[in-house]
Amino acid sequence: MPTIQRFEDILGWQKARELTRLIYTISRVTEFSRDFALKDQIRRAAISVMLNIAEGFARRTDKDFARFLSNAHGSAAEVQSALYVALDQEYIGQEQFKTAYDRSAECSRLTFGFMQYLSREVDAGH
């Protein structure tokens, strides 16, 4: 595996950026945009995925990085849960829901997998 030089090189961060862009796009629609609490919460959760990956990378230890990836993983689940609220309130349709849910699931898988890898490295003493 090539060495990661910048957080922007991390696939999970790249996918989290795409997720954040999508969440901002779908939460701009009239009804969704007027639900300030949900709009703010889902946006903050999506942003949190990106920010936790970047901050964890900057910590420079595998243990700290794994902890921040765990936070990112949790934030991706928060996005998924908020998407159900948006769907139930009919702010988004089933297709938008599926697209955004799938993107957040991809972020979740990537961060969880990276977190497990780093945890193994810590356990092995590397």
Question: What is residue 124's predicted lDDT score, i.e. its pLDDT?
Answer: 73
Question: What is residue 125's predicted lDDT score, i.e. its pLDDT?
Answer: 67
pLDDT tens-digit readout, 97-124? 999 999 999 999 999 999 999 888 777 7
pLDDT exceeds cutoff 80 at 12 = yes
CA-based end-to-end distance of the chain: 15
The class that CATH gives domain 10-123 is: mainly alpha
Task: Give whole-number Cα distances, 17 to 35, 39, 54, 84, 121, in Å.
Answer: 23, 17, 11, 21, 26
Question: What is residue 2's predicted lDDT score, i.e. its pLDDT?
Answer: 62
pLDDT exceeds cutoff 60 at 1 = no
pLDDT tens-digit readout, 64-81? 999 999 999 999 999 999
At residue 126 the predicted structure's pLDDT band, cuts being 50, 70 and 90, is low
Residue with tokens 């009239």: 30
Question: What is residue 104's predicted lDDT score, i.e. its pLDDT?
Answer: 98
> Is the pTM for the entire model greater than 0.85?
yes
Q: Cβ distance 14 to 114 under 8 Å?
A: no
Q: How many residues does the chain have?
A: 126
Q: Which two tokens stand for residue 45?
A: 């959760």
